[in-house]
Structure 1
Amino acid sequence: MLYCFRIRQPTFLNSLSFLFQLHSDVDKGVGDVKYTLMGDGAGTIFTVDEITGDIHAIRSLDREEKTFYTLRAQAIDIKSGQPVEPESEFIIKVQDINDNEPKFLDGPYTATVPEMSPLGTYVTQVEATDADDPTYGNSARVVYSILKGQPYFSIDPKTGIIRTALPNMDREVREHYQVLIQAKDMGGQLGGLAGITVVNITLSDVNDNPPRFPKSIFLLKVPETSEVGSAVGRIKATDPDTGKNAEIKYVIVPGDGGNVFDITTDENTQEGILILKKPLDYESKKAYTFKVDASNAHYDHRFHSMAPLKDTATVKIAVLDVDEPPVFSKHSYTLEVHEDTPVGTIIGAVTAQDIDVSNSPVRYCIDWKSDRDKYFTIDEVEGIIATNELLDRESIAQHNISVIATKVSNPLLSSHVPVIIHVLDVNEFPPEMSVPSETVVCENAKSGQIIQSVSAEDRDLAPAGQKFYFRLPPEEATKPNFTVYDFGNNTAGIMAKRNGYQRSQHELYFLPVVIEDNSYPVQSSTSTLTIRVCGCNSDGTIMSCNAEAIFLPVGLSTGALIAILLCVIILLVIVVLYVSLRRQKKKDTLMTSKEDIRDNVIHYDDEGGGEEDTQAFDIGALRNPKAAEENKFRRDIKPENLCVPRQRPPVEDNTDIKVFINQRLQEYDADTSAPPYDSLATYAYEGTGSIAQSLSSIDSVTTDADQEYDFLSDWGPKFKMLADMFGGEQSYNTDTVT
């Protein structure tokens, strides 16, 4: 059997400390048995002597790290190496010692308690923990105590609950407290370990103080020109409380200043701001006195009976006199004047006065910006307004001017007042007919029939109840054709006086109509109404108003009229085609076929025009280059479009003819407007006046021997040059060259 002997050890183990001894009944003490150790910590924490069986701890043990270890031991025969006994298990339990102090894991602490709290009011609770074994001895039993913070607070030694130790602590006296708390193990006995923490305690505010004015009377001075709604002064009460408890509400006690002033609170400074509700007037009242209450906007009912939560102060406001501008008797003036009133007519007056004590005289003027055309003038002393120009209601019906009043003692002080001047209408324009001045009457009109209604308009301003009257002039009243019937409602009707009207006899009638108004003075005008006689059907629908229509056969239908019109159009088309064919035929007699034109072949059916025929080619341009600048159109070919002559640079008199011809050749080659048959020349008659006489053999009066042709040899090169200029193969009638 394997035995384990437990040996009492000191409370703290050092390295290689002996713990206990293993021994087997087989072991006779002669060294033939050895011991082995296996399990938790074997070889690292615990070791065994193989011969004696002594077990040692090779390092210190910590119960807080591991509370027990399980080991297995065995006795083995040294010679055979076989176990002499079965394996045995051992448990080593580490006993605790007081090696850990209490600790406040949540410290430092912060707590708040209302001021004026009663004795024993709960503040907060602290807690310390000890890592030692609470089941073994007093190592983990903690006791709490206050090292600093008395006599204001106390702590329960077992629970760590902190409470107030003094009643009615005042925040305004002291607001912050720092309390030092100790936790000691071993039940607080001597030799125990201790831990310390700090608790910061703040007294929270309660509304236990009323606002107080630093003085009982506030004196303020306010200029009489202060604007309504502006701040005119500030007063302030103080409250030692904080936050909402320090918010103050100001109220004006009903009395002298309640209707003139108001008071509000500045949220940032808690000052009372006096606001002006009504204008001040030094001349009417020079001072105001009233009381103001300052109270807490929020208060605690628990402290309401301690003291009144408001304070009262007196406010005296002195109104300061300020030099003010003149004041008009009215805010605006409205005047009336008839148009065309003579210049200088008085139409009204404005008045202003100095309300200051000085009572300075006032001077008046019209703001030039409001009366740029100077229609009006004003007396600078009396303020009397008169006309300066003739007024026309039809041009400007209302004038809006501004009058300025200034003080003689201080011209910089001025005031303005608007003056509205209505220009009243004078009946100066006669009424006029407002409908078109032309109407029609049917040939089959009946006597008494209204053929047209007319009305009138007046450029004058129409007064209430204005009436227009319509009538014929006296000389027209006896005529038997038409009359005017006044309906009495500012309109009239044109009435036929007989049955039937004939266009063939009288197509137009001119009826003068007299229109009068009822204003003063009475104005009248005569308008002439043109009446055209028209053909109408039986229901009065107008069919035709043209005089020539009366010669058409009676009863001709619309279809017949359309057929006649188509025939006329066809006839016109035939005439146009005939004229076009005639013109084409005439053109073909003067020119050969189109194929001849394209081949540039010229046929001469007669002799050329001679000296006078210079339009086809003017050789004079070779003699006088300036003549080439003239714009000459060819008479032998009708151009399709007439083009604006080209602007050519002037040619000097001494210009070489060859250079001149080359320039013209390039010019004509680049001209896109020239026709392709510009070399075609036809002559329908023989020219006259040639110096060389006729070159033709026709009717020649001389024989070939007498005729001299030497002069042509000089022109040969010139003909070649001209041919090159006008496009290659050409044929020229020499009768045209001189």
Structure 2
Amino acid sequence: MLRRNCLLLFLCFLFEQSSCAPFQSRPGQEWPHSQTGPLAAGRNGGSRGFQRVKRGWVWNQFFVLEEYMGSDPQYVGKLHTDLDNGESGVKYTLSGDGAGTIFTIDQITGDIHALRSLDREEKPYYTLRAQAVDIETNRPLEPESEFVIKVQDINDNEPKFLEGPYTASVPEMSPVGTYVMKVTATDADDPTYGNSARVVYSILHGQPYFSVDAKTGVIRTALPNMDREMKELYQVLIQAKDMGGQLGGLAGTTTINITLSDVNDNPPRFSKSEPLYNSVGRIKAHDLDIGKNAEVEYNIVPGDGGAMFDITTNEHNQEGIIMLKKPLDYETKKAYTFKVEASNAHLDPRFHNFGPFKDTATVKINILDVDEPPVFSKPSYAMDVYEDTPQGTIIGAVTAQDLDAGNSPVRYSIDWKSDLDSFFDIDPVRGTISTNELLDRESIAQHNISVVATKVNNPVLTSRVAVTVHVLDINEFPPELAMPYETFVCESAKVGQVIQVISARDQDLPQAGQTFSFKSPQEGVKTKNFTIRDFGNNTAGVVTLRGGFKRRSQEIYHLPVVIEDGGLQTLSSTGTLTIRVCGCDTDGSLLTCSAEAIFLPVGLSTGALIAILVLIVVLYVGVRRQKKKETLMTSKEDIRDNVIHYDDEGGGEEDTHAFDMGTLRNPKVIKENMFRRDVKPELGLCPRRPVASQNSADISNFISLRLQEHDGDTSAPPYDSLATYAYEGEGSVAESLSSIESVKGETEEDYDYLNEWGPRFKTLAGIFGERSEMPQWSWFVILVFMV
């Protein structure tokens, strides 16, 4: 309602119609108050037929034209209160936006004027406050009232394209009406008032290729089948005009640069003057398109050159690079002619259905002749030879030839680096390979050699080929038992029981797995104890032929086993199994195989065992006391109490007259023919028996003589040794004071029986411990104590 009243007021103001008096503030008239107050009386003070309900005022908005160019201040409106009876008793005041600077009021009449030109785009409205006061007392007559002065818009701003100039792209060959882009112009004028901001678009330059929608500014194609290859860039000028495009409206323009983007509407084309190639080279097809649409794929049409050549595309310049797939041979073929096809990699379905999007060119390649190395008939050779083949045996041959037009002879040789031990030799003309030494497969099973072929007319040109020689095995080693078996049979073994499983091994290399057979030496002759049973899977078993084995009867059995291999020339060997008879528990587990255990019957009580032991000890002591007494130093190992200390170190390493330990023994037991181990004795030279002094009192003379003999003895070793001087003389009236003969009928050996029989007592104690509940150490103590 307020907007409608303001619009009517503005129209009335422009056209000064009298019918708008209730909405116009003119001199001598009041501005209408709020709905709660009556209309003010005119100058005549006459009543309009309305009765005031409440005193006061509420002002609506005023309007003022922008860009006023008159010489006098622009009249805005008039303020008036019904308390003003025209006697100049009321004063009007104005405050707020622009009061006193932009707007002024006549304090007596209430007339408001604008002091300067206003711009709506700078400030569209002003808010002010009005006050009516008593001119004498300055007392407010009415409450302060607020009102608005709105700047009325005029068409003083043209439309503007804020984002121009523009760039756009549309595919070539697009149909009419294809969307390109949308442009928008803005107008600073008031869009709510009149047509000042109503913009209309038009195209000034760019027809007939493009069009623009007058209301929306959308640009579309207007011409069909625009070809990028003909023209790629278009410049379009767009105008935006306000006032709905009417005469007198303001206008603005902008430029749009529209590019036709490429589509694949052109196939690649070869130049009709494409030259022939004398060697592998390059070829190129030209495409008028750009980017990925100009990417070309090359293919060799199946035919003459498809098997020998290949072609790829250079991504940078779209050239076709022709490459070799196989080596060329001038002697076989001197030229190749084939066709190359060029096509696009990315096809556009709108165009490629119209016809073939490809082109074809013919390429001819001439092969140039060059001098080449000899060529072997095979890329590699493999030969087989049996080991121990006689020297000079031919095992195979290699063949190479010169394929050039000259057909030069070829000579063969073995690269010495591949056959350092010279196992093979080759005929330089025929290329036959023969053995140069005996081959052993067990040492080297495969030889890898390299054969060199050289052209006679150009020795620089050589070629090599690998030759593998496999040394085949011959049956030269007999089989043998796989390991030394420790076989035993329980005393409780049954007839037909397998007590051991055996296998064999062979150093030869079988062709398809080793095969062994086992049997007894006399197959078919039934033995009474054990036999061999062949299981047929390269193993055999030792089987008992009887039961009741006893260690007391026989502790060890020997069983021969004949083993044969499965070679072409069968070889065999005989191995012997040693079978021990052992005691086992009820489940067959081994208990003991001790030899001493067989002398003690099973089940003897502890008292019986002690009685047997006492009897053995008494018999042993009696026998020893009946031995004949031996002379001093009869035992060659016992020299207790007979070594005389002689403090002489000898002459060290340079002393060639060292002493011999044998001299310190009793002269009666010195060995004969004692020679030095490091000096070869002269012929006729034999060791001299030392002459002992018969004077028992003159021991020093005896020692001196002994020293002289050893100093001059050339058979003595040239290093320090121990010489014995065990001479007691020939007797004494007082007899010997030594304790050796203090006991009649006993020798020194009588005191060593405990050391000799101690280990045996330990063994007996162990056996007694097995046969009774007493521990072994207690039996050992008892035996030693009894002895």
TM-score (norm 1): 0.60
**CA 1:478/1:272 → structure 2, altered by over 3 Å: closer, same or farther?**
closer
Cα distance in structure 1, aligned partners of 2:336 and 2:377: 27
Q: Deviations over 1:539-576 (max 9, x none)?
A: 9998765555443245337x889999999xxxxxxxxx
**CA 1:289/1:33 → structure 2, altered by over 3 Å: closer, same or farther?**
same
Cα distance in structure 2, aligned partners of 1:54 and 1:434: 138
Q: Give yes or no for contact 2:383–2:467 (8 Å, CA) kept in 1.
A: yes
Cα distance in structure 1, aligned partners of 2:494 and 2:29: 163
Q: Which residue of 1 aligns with 2:99?
A: 42
Cα distance in structure 2, aligned partners of 1:187 and 1:543: 126
Cα distance in structure 1, aligned partners of 2:582 and 2:595: 9
1:341 to 389, 409, 415: 389
**CA 1:426/1:4 → structure 2, altered by over 3 Å: closer, same or farther?**
closer
Q: Which residue of 2 aligns with 1:200?
A: 257
Look up the SS of the partner of 1:358 in the other structure: coil
Deviation at 1:51, TM superposition (A): 5.1
Look up the SS of the partner of 2:293 in the other structure: helix
Deviation at 1:460, TM superposition (A): 4.0
Q: Give yes or no for contact 1:2–1:23 (8 Å, CA) kept in 2.
A: no
Q: Does 1:12 align with 2:68?
A: yes
Q: Deviations over 1:584-614 (max 9, x none)?
A: xxxxxxxxxxxxxxxxxxxxxxxxxxxxxxx
2:112 to 55, 59, 62: 55
Look up the SS of the partner of 2:416 in the other structure: coil
Q: Which residue of 1 aligns with 2:623?
A: none
Cα distance in structure 1, aligned partners of 2:540 and 2:244: 130
1:312 to 360, 365, 386: 360
Cα distance in structure 2, aligned partners of 1:83 and 1:452: 140
Q: Which residue of 1 aligns with 2:760?
A: none
Cα distance in structure 2, aligned partners of 1:28 and 1:544: 154
Q: Which residue of 2 aligns with 1:3?
A: 29
2:380 to 319, 332, 335: 332
Q: Does 1:258 align with 2:315?
A: no
**CA 1:439/1:560 → structure 2, altered by over 3 Å: closer, same or farther?**
farther
**CA 1:375/1:76 → structure 2, altered by over 3 Å: closer, same or farther?**
closer
Cα distance in structure 2, aligned partners of 1:37 and 1:221: 104
Q: Does 1:212 align with 2:269?
A: yes
1:368 to 395, 416, 427: 416
Q: Which residue of 2 aligns with 1:108?
A: 165
Look up the SS of the partner of 1:42 in the other structure: coil
Q: Does 1:405 align with 2:453?
A: yes
Q: Give yes or no for contact 2:530–2:542 (8 Å, CA) kept in 1.
A: yes
**CA 1:37/1:252 → structure 2, altered by over 3 Å: closer, same or farther?**
same
Cα distance in structure 1, aligned partners of 2:240 and 2:470: 101
- Which amino acid in 2 is paired with 1:99? D
Deviation at 1:205, TM superposition (A): 1.9
**CA 1:377/1:34 → structure 2, altered by over 3 Å: closer, same or farther?**
same
Tell me the percent identity: 67
Q: Which residue of 2 aligns with 1:395?
A: 443
Q: Give yes or no for contact 1:427–1:520 (8 Å, CA) kept in 2.
A: yes
Comparing 199-208 and 26-35, the one that deviates more: 26-35
Q: Does 1:292 align with 2:379?
A: no
Cα distance in structure 2, aligned partners of 1:508 and 1:24: 154
- Which amino acid in 1 is paired with 2:293? N
Cα distance in structure 2, aligned partners of 1:542 and 1:23: 141
Q: Give yes or no for contact 2:66–2:117 (8 Å, CA) kept in 1.
A: no
Deviation at 1:304, TM superposition (A): 4.4
Look up the SS of the partner of 1:44 in the other structure: coil
Q: Which residue of 1 aligns with 2:739?
A: none
Look up the SS of the partner of 2:336 in the other structure: strand
Cα distance in structure 2, aligned partners of 1:398 and 1:451: 43
RMSD of aligned Cα (Å): 5.2
Cα distance in structure 1, aligned partners of 2:84 and 2:464: 136
Q: Does 1:423 align with 2:480?
A: no
The 5 Å alignment of 1:189-588 reads 192-215=249-272, 217=274, 219-222=276-279, 233-304=281-352, 308-434=356-482, 436=484, 457-462=505-510, 548-553=596-601, 555-556=603-604
Q: Give yes or no for contact 1:237–1:294 (8 Å, CA) kept in 2.
A: yes
Cα distance in structure 2, aligned partners of 1:41 and 1:351: 117
Q: Deviations over 1:327-347 (max 9, x none)?
A: 222333333333333333332
- Which amino acid in 2 is paired with 1:245? N
The 5 Å alignment of 1:624-639 reads none
Deviation at 1:394, TM superposition (A): 2.7
Q: Which residue of 1 aligns with 2:240?
A: 183
Q: Give yes or no for contact 2:66–2:151 (8 Å, CA) kept in 1.
A: no
Q: Give yes or no for contact 1:211–1:248 (8 Å, CA) kept in 2.
A: yes
- Which amino acid in 2 is paired with 1:174? K
Deviation at 1:237, TM superposition (A): 1.6
Q: Give yes or no for contact 2:383–2:469 (8 Å, CA) kept in 1.
A: yes
Q: Give yes or no for contact 2:234–2:259 (8 Å, CA) kept in 1.
A: yes
Q: Give yes or no for contact 1:64–1:131 (8 Å, CA) kept in 2.
A: yes
Cα distance in structure 2, aligned partners of 1:82 and 1:479: 160
- Which amino acid in 2 is paired with 1:131? A
Cα distance in structure 2, aligned partners of 1:166 and 1:90: 59
Q: Give yes or no for contact 2:264–2:289 (8 Å, CA) kept in 1.
A: yes
Cα distance in structure 1, aligned partners of 2:505 and 2:180: 99
Cα distance in structure 2, aligned partners of 1:103 and 1:562: 137
Cα distance in structure 1, aligned partners of 2:495 and 2:481: 24
Deviation at 1:377, TM superposition (A): 1.6
TM-score (norm 2): 0.57
Deviation at 1:61, TM superposition (A): 1.9
Show structure 1 runs of 5+ residues with no match: 223-231, 568-738
